[in-house]
Chain A
Amino acid sequence: GAGVSQSPRYKVAKRGQDVALRCDPISGHVSLFWYQQALGQGPEFLTYFQNEAQLDKSGLPSDRFFAERPEGSVSTLKIQRTQQEDSAVYLCASSLMASGAKETQYFGPGTRLLVL
């Protein structure tokens, strides 16, 4: 079956531009996570959805970051008024159950965002 897919794979934005990153999780997976990975670092948690409910958004770095999963499947991470420090790889992951970080997470290939 298909894994987690993300689009676009690469995005170049001018500072101040808004961007939207899409994640298609594995079909039927209840949990969905977004992570941000800076160059040479491990991924850092941004937010977590259980179906359509956003249960944890403690990792979102500012109110410029917004995520949604309106129908409990596809998710979008939106960054408003992008800044250079937003440049990173944004990873999406899904897991089968509603158990948060207590089970295997399946990652997409990521979206590499470069803000000029």
Chain B
Amino acid sequence: SQQGEEDPQALSIQEGENATMNCSYKTSINNLQWYRQNSGRGLVHLILIRSNEREKHSGRLRVTLDTSKKSSSLLITASRAADTASYFCATGPSGTASKLTFGTGTRLQVTL
């Protein structure tokens, strides 16, 4: 079963604009990760934020985590056509469990 839900399900923006995607989850976590998936390809890891962190940056990416609200957001600044992809959040549980639980994904379309 999917743990997280991404919002929106689909997002279309123009090149140069910022894109914000949100993720909500249900159980306590050790970390939350964001992945990108281009059509027909595997997932590429973007960023990992641990439960004791509130914000993390990597290049044009900014991730926030609010464990009290069980939510995270991914901001892509100055988007490019190459950012067109599906974006998934995945939660790593607290405790000894081994599996990442993925959300349903946001499909981002960046047009010229």
Contacts and interface: CB of A to CB of B under 8 A. Distances in A.
A66 interface: no
Nearest to B46: A104
A102 B90 CA distance: 11
Contact of B102 (A42, A48, A55, A108): A42
A91 B98 contact: no
A109 interface: yes
Interface residues of B, number: 28
A33 B97 CA distance: 13
Interface residues of A, number: 28
Interface stretch (B11-19, B36-44, B61-69, B76-84): B36-44
B45 to A, nearest CB: 5
B31 interface: yes
A100 B31 contact: no
A93 B1 CA distance: 19
A102 B92 contact: yes
Interface in A96-111: 100-110
B111 interface: no
Interface string B82-105: 000000101011001111111111
Contacts of B43: 43, 91, 93, 107
Contact of A105 (B41, B45, B96, B105): B45
Contacts of A42: 2, 4, 88, 90, 102-105
Given A101-B92, A101-B93, A45 B100 contact: yes
Given A42-B105, A110-B42, A105 B100 contact: yes
Given A41-B2, A44-B102, A100 B42 contact: no
5 contacts: A33-B100, A44-B2, A55-B98, A107-B35, A110-B42
Given A45-B100, A101-B93, A101-B99, 9 more contacts: A33-B98, A42-B2, A42-B88, A43-B102, A56-B98, A59-B99, A101-B31, A104-B45, A107-B44
